[in-house]
C-alpha cells in the first residue's frame, strides 16, 4: 500500500515536471512570436512607408502598434515565466533522479512502511520548497497540457519501470 503511494507520488512529480516543461515551451514560443512580430513590423514598416507614400497612414499605424506592443511587452509574463520555469525544472529534475533512485530500494522491499512514507513526504516537501523558491507568478492552468503531461509521465514510468 505505501509502495503504491510512493509510486503515485513519483508519477505526480513526473507529471509536474512535464507540465512545467510544456508551459516553458509555450512561454518561449509566445515570447519568440512577439519579438519576431515586433522586429518585422518595425523594420518593414519604415521601409514600406518610404516606398509607398500614399499608404503612409497604414504604415504609421503598424509602427504605432509595434511601439505600443514593445512598451507593454515588459509587463507581459512570458519573460519571467521562462526564467522561473527553467530554474524550477532544474530542481525538479534533480528531485526526480533522487526519487527514482529510492524507488529501486522501495520496490525491492528494502524500506519499511514508515521509511517509505517519510520518503514520500520528502518528495512533497522538496517540491513545495522548489515551487516557493522559484515561482513568483501564477502558473496558468491548462487542461490540455496537463493531460499531455500526465500521459507522458505514464509512458515514461511504464517504459522504465513496468
d(CA 51, CA 56): 9
Residue with cell 516537501: 125
pLDDT for the residue numbered 47: 64
Cell numbers describing residue 76:
507581459
Radius of gyration of the chain, Cα coordinates, nearest whole angstrom: 23
Return the exposure string of 14-36: e unless at least 16 CB atoms fall within 10 Å of the residue's CB, then b.
Answer: bbbbbbbbbbbebbbeebeebee
**Which pLDDT belongs to residue 136?**
87
Q: 3-state class of 162 per DSSP?
A: coil
| pLDDT value, residue 36 | 87
Q: What's the gap between Cα 151 and its chain centre?
A: 16
pTM for the model: 0.85
- Residue 55 cell numbers, joined: 499608404
Q: What integer pLDDT is reported at residue 37 of this predicted model? A: 82
- What pLDDT score does 20 carry? 97
pLDDT for the residue numbered 145: 97
Q: Would you say 134 and 17 are in contact if contact means Cβ atoms under 8 Å apart?
A: no
For the chain, which ranges sit under pLDDT 70?
Answer: 44-56
d(CA 66, CA 45): 10
Amino acid at each position: 500500500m505505501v509502495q503504491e503511494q510512493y509510486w503515485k507520488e513519483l508519477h505526480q512529480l513526473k507529471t509536474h515536471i512535464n507540465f512545467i516543461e510544456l508551459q516553458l515551451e509555450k512561454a518561449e514560443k509566445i515570447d519568440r512570436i512577439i519579438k519576431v512580430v515586433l522586429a518585422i513590423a518595425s523594420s518593414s514598416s519604415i521601409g514600406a512607408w518610404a516606398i509607398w507614400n500614399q499608404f503612409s497612414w497604414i504604415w504609421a499605424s503598424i509602427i504605432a502598434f509595434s511601439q505600443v506592443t514593445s512598451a507593454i511587452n515588459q509587463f507581459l509574463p512570458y519573460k519571467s515565466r521562462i526564467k522561473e520555469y527553467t530554474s524550477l525544472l532544474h530542481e525538479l529534475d534533480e528531485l526526480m533522479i533522487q526519487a527514482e533512485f529510492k524507488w529501486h530500494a522501495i520496490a525491492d522491499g528494502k524500506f519499511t512502511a514508515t521509511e517509505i512514507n517519510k520518503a514520500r513526504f520528502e518528495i512533497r516537501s522538496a517540491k513545495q520548497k522548489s515551487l516557493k523558491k522559484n515561482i513568483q507568478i501564477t502558473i496558468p492552468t491548462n487542461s490540455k497540457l496537463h493531460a499531455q503531461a500526465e500521459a507522458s509521465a505514464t509512458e515514461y514510468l511504464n517504459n522504465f519501470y513496468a
